[in-house]
Amino acid sequence: MHRTWQQRSLIHCFLITGVSLLCTNTALAEEPLGYADPDRRLVSYQGSRLIHAANTASHQLKLSHSLVKPVSDQPEPLLKGINADDIKAVKAIAKQRFSKRWNLVSERSRFVRYRLVEKLEKVSAPLSLQIIPVVESTYSPYALSHAGASGLWQLMPGTAKVLGIKADKKIDGRRDIERSTSAAVEYLTTQHDRFDSWPLAIAAYNLGPYAVSKRLKKTPWDLADGLDAMPVPTETRNYVKHVIGLVALLDDGTLSFPSPIKTRAIDLNPPVDIQLLAQLSGMEKDAIFRFNPSLNQAQYLTRPVTIHVPETAHGKVQENIPHSGPKFVYVTVQSGNSLWSIARANGTDVKTVKKLNRGISNTLRIGQKLKVPANQLAKASANINPLLPSKNRVRYRVRSGDSLWRIANRFGTTVKALARVNSLSKKSVIRAGDILWVLARVRPS
């Protein structure tokens, strides 16, 4: 896809504010906010079942997995031109930094890497670019930074918007494996064409290409000068070393990824309860959402959706689609609602509503959610994806009299952060009823 220089400028600005913030001090990418990590034990896949096994494997680097490196006599593109001393040094750095987490990274990768590699192959990009999500997100598509960057590749909302990646209440394209990979790889290959150097392209992904260009004008640099002499901030230089070091460890066979789980797409028409469909098909709890991280919801009541499932489970899932309609949904209490009016509107009675909502009071609160039979879907609220980082990520409906400053103050964040997460300016006008995402440091009282 060809873009004007104005479009590229905008993309670059977003990445400067997003990716570089995430990688300050080159710490391993943070865990998703509020994300209950299901990966602390190794998982093996058999048929359509995910069988948990105790993680007794040691954290040594030499793993008995299939190598990511393809069978080829060609030299690794990302290592081309880097001197042997630099390669040796960055391998030692990467080995020390990532060895203890490689089992976790490897296991996470199995659910998404099949589609990621397909995208790399489709555009003839170096397969070793798949190492970048290790440094960005430790291969968690649910990773969410405090700056609002999300997904395997840690794309900012504004970056995604410019690249045509949509996000709404039901789907977040930044967590979509194919779309986010296409966007990130397009960006990286554009920078490679610009700088004619993979280390500089990787630096531009972290720092932004204009910042890199500005520094190169002041201090010219070539691969022969060595990675330590790269005229970029320390955190960006370390970021490049981590990526190059991991690529070198993969290239020589010290590190390897496990074979990814091959998946197939299935189109689903509403209404469908994805959790119920997975359960009926014999899949382990929440596994369906590890294959489909772009889903914001666990139920799709009025909108078609495409999911990916393991190829070995494809037939079983297809068989159970007719039986996967939601049995229960949630409704939100509005002003003037009572148990009687809610029961009537949803084709049931007060006794059933009370039975489904144990301990409920006759006095309802505006905004309260009640479980009801799935008789009226148009006004119902779908269950959310259980793997979403919900602890600190708050979906907020703007109230009368609200401003960005008031909302930011209420949740212990800043106007700048609130605006960035929602692709707004700090002076944007918001209206009652608007929906905002808030990365909250505190819960409102």
In order, the DSSP letters of 376-389 are --TTPBPPBPTTS-
Contacts of 229 (CB under 8 A, 6+ apart): 221
- Do 316 and 339 reside in the same domain of the chain? no
- Ranges under pLDDT 50 in the chain: 1-72, 442-445
Torsion over CA: 168, 173, 174, 177 (sign): positive
Written as six digits, the tokens of 339 are 């148990």
Which pLDDT value is given to residue 328? 82
- Do 227 and 366 reside in the same domain of the chain? no
Written as six digits, the tokens of 384 are 């959310």
Which pLDDT value is given to residue 74? 65
Which pLDDT value is given to residue 356? 87
pLDDT in tens, 17-67: 343 333 333 333 333 333 333 332 223 333 323 323 323 233 333 333 344
What domain range is 425 assigned to? 393-439
Is residue 136 within 8 A of residue 29, CB to CB? The reply is: yes
Whether pTM exceeds 0.75: no
Which pLDDT value is given to residue 2? 39
- Do 293 and 229 reside in the same domain of the chain? no
- Do 138 and 271 reside in the same domain of the chain? no
Which pLDDT value is given to residue 190? 95
Domain count, the chain: 4
Which pLDDT value is given to residue 30? 34
- Do 99 and 15 reside in the same domain of the chain? yes
CA nearest neighbour of 140 among 153, 128, 156, 149: 153
Is the residue at 188 inside a domain? yes
- Do 353 and 287 reside in the same domain of the chain? no
> Around Cβ 205, how many Cβ atoms within 10 Å?
29
**Backbone conformation region of residue 367, classed left if phi is above 0, alpha if psi is from -120 to 50, else beta:** left
CATH of the domain at 336: 3.10.350.10
Is the residue at 384 inside a domain? no
